[in-house]
Structure 1
Amino acid sequence: MKEVLKFLKCMNHEVPMLVDFPDSGDRFPTVLLIHGFMSGKSNDNHMLKRISQKITEASIIAARIDLCSMGENLCSREQYGMKVMIAEVKASFKYLQSLPEVDENRVGLLGHSLGGRLAFTCSTLPAKLVIALNGAINTMEPIEVDYDKEQMNKLGYSIIRTADGRVELLFPRFEKDIKETLNNNIKQFSNPILIGVATSDPTLNPEISLNFIKNCHMSNVDSFTVDDSDHTFNVESGDFSKLNEVIAKVVPWLSEHI
């Protein structure tokens, strides 16, 4: 496997992208991995990297990005919101299609948490498939983020403490953008969809995904559940057994459908 760091232009800033290439071959199917809320391509104990490596071992290119102001992305945190992130996902998708190693007709989206919402929202792209893991996929409803509203009103921002121990700032743009980007795009998506749900997720209500699976009435939706797992599949604890369980479901499905 060869890993290459790239920076691609989007709006008035650059999007950092790590691309994992299989060891041999010419043109490959490809998956764009999208991280969750206040996370990054290398956060959550390298969860996306661990997924990416297993995808690449299956002879599929895996690319992961840092969204607006996260990780190596230098866009202003005040811009952190769905509109910029949607633009970043779309720019990243099109950039991947332009690479000579990529089969432009076989590019998929995989998102975790807020990344799952972005994957569903960006299903207007010619994606070969969409995967959401513990995704905020209720795209027709606002997300309720737990933050100090009094602090937001007083200071113009709120301090967020993330699951992996970081302290970040949340600005009003995030909530405004959520409301202005509500959509039902996924209902028009006819290619394969896979939804993975941690049934005891304490961070994002698993009923969001479970209700979609039950009520969407879409024949192109497959799903699986993971028990005794938190929002990031217990990786912060150093126990990767649940993440490995997820990978064992995702990679064969991905290989079959892409």
Structure 2
Amino acid sequence: MSAQGDGGYDEYVVTLENDIVATVVEPAADGPVPAVLMLHGFGSFRDEVGNMYQRLAAELGQRGIASIRIDFRGWGESGGGMENSTLTGMVEDAATAYDYLLTQPFVDSAHLGVLGFSLGGRVAIVTAAEHPDGYQSMALWSTGGNISPDFLGQEALDTAQAEGQVTVDLGFREVTLGADFFESMTAYDVEEEFVKYANAFLVIAGTEDESHDYLNWYLENAQGELRAAYGVEGADHIYGVLGDDQTYADSVITTTADWFVMTLK
């Protein structure tokens, strides 16, 4: 199914290998264009909370940059079952989307970017480390450091280990996670993976979110010459996007779009 965007782009849904569902934005252009892979956060889906990824994809499309945003297996519309989801599987899904971009004639494979939100930011770091020459620009939203297997509480971890899975109420939805999901949190050291990437880098976090504590670390340890950090004063983990005031969310979307235009076009 395809829809024509207001700014001269097509948006359509595709199913990749392993039953990964994705939305592609393809700008109207005479030749190949840059493209950005968007990786959603924990408990979310490919359009992201408050449709922030959908909104960013539209702005990028209007400015001549393609994008693909995926549902990780077990989340959103992708197959696989939530209880089978793992961080390592998410990294595999990101690689599948990367490979898809390389095969598309409308994509300039020499100008690719990757964006991750929260847990998706950790996935972005690892996929960039695995393809150090593949991504020319990376952006992270609300991304801290390594995550402990007990990040949802010791009780949830103990139940998953004893029973094979656990259902947790996140407040905005319930999720059912297998023991392997928690164990996979230790599969990568984010700090070690991050320094394997040496191209353009942007990190954004609200000052009211714990991830803000990592802004300076990311900025100081980024290996590329072009690096930037943006602290959104007063914003929380999701930039207030579920409220009536969209000032924070709009600033994050615009800043990120400007960044990818500057570093990819």
Alignment of 1:1-258 (within 5 A): 1-9=9-17, 13-123=18-128, 124-125=130-131, 126-136=134-144, 138-139=145-146, 142=148, 144-147=150-153, 148-149=155-156, 150-153=158-161, 155-162=163-170, 165-183=172-190, 184-201=192-209, 204-214=210-220, 219-258=225-264
Distance, in Å, in 2 between the alignment partners of 1:80 and 1:36 is 13
Distance, in Å, in 1 between the alignment partners of 2:64 and 2:263 is 13
- Partner secondary structure for residue 252 of structure 1: helix
Check the 8 A contact 2:84/2:177 in 1, yes or no.
no
Give deviations 1:34-63, integer Å, cap 9, x for gaps: 100111113412121011111111110011
Distance, in Å, in 2 between the alignment partners of 1:2 and 1:162 is 35
**Identity percentage over the alignment?**
21
Question: Does the C-alpha gap of structure 1 residues 248 and 217 become closer, same or farther in structure 2, counting only changes over 3 Å?
Answer: same
Question: Does the C-alpha gap of structure 1 residues 205 and 247 become closer, same or farther in structure 2, counting only changes over 3 Å?
Answer: closer
Cα displacement (A) at 1:222: 1.3
Cα displacement (A) at 1:122: 0.9
- Partner secondary structure for residue 230 of structure 2: strand
Distance, in Å, in 2 between the alignment partners of 1:162 and 1:111 is 20
Question: Does the C-alpha gap of structure 1 residues 97 and 220 become closer, same or farther in structure 2, counting only changes over 3 Å?
Answer: same
Check the 8 A contact 2:47/2:53 in 1, yes or no.
yes
- Mean Cα deviation higher: 229-238 or 109-118: 229-238
- Partner secondary structure for residue 254 of structure 2: helix
- TM-score (norm: length of structure 2): 0.86
- Partner secondary structure for residue 120 of structure 2: helix
Question: Does the C-alpha gap of structure 1 residues 254 and 41 become closer, same or farther in structure 2, counting only changes over 3 Å?
Answer: same
Give deviations 1:195-248, integer Å, cap 9, x for gaps: 1111112xx442133433245576442111101112111112243211111122
- TM-score (norm: length of structure 1): 0.89
Distance, in Å, in 2 between the alignment partners of 1:178 and 1:6 is 29
Distance, in Å, in 2 between the alignment partners of 1:175 and 1:208 is 22
- Partner secondary structure for residue 259 of structure 2: helix
Check the 8 A contact 1:134/1:209 in 2, yes or no.
no
- Mean Cα deviation higher: 145-154 or 245-254: 145-154
Distance, in Å, in 1 between the alignment partners of 2:161 and 2:193 is 33
Check the 8 A contact 2:121/2:141 in 1, yes or no.
yes
Q: Structure 2: which 5+ runs fail to align?
A: 1-8
- Partner secondary structure for residue 109 of structure 2: strand
Cα displacement (A) at 1:157: 2.5
Give RMSD over aligned pairs.
2.0
Cα displacement (A) at 1:158: 2.7
* Corresponding letter in the other structure for 2:168: I
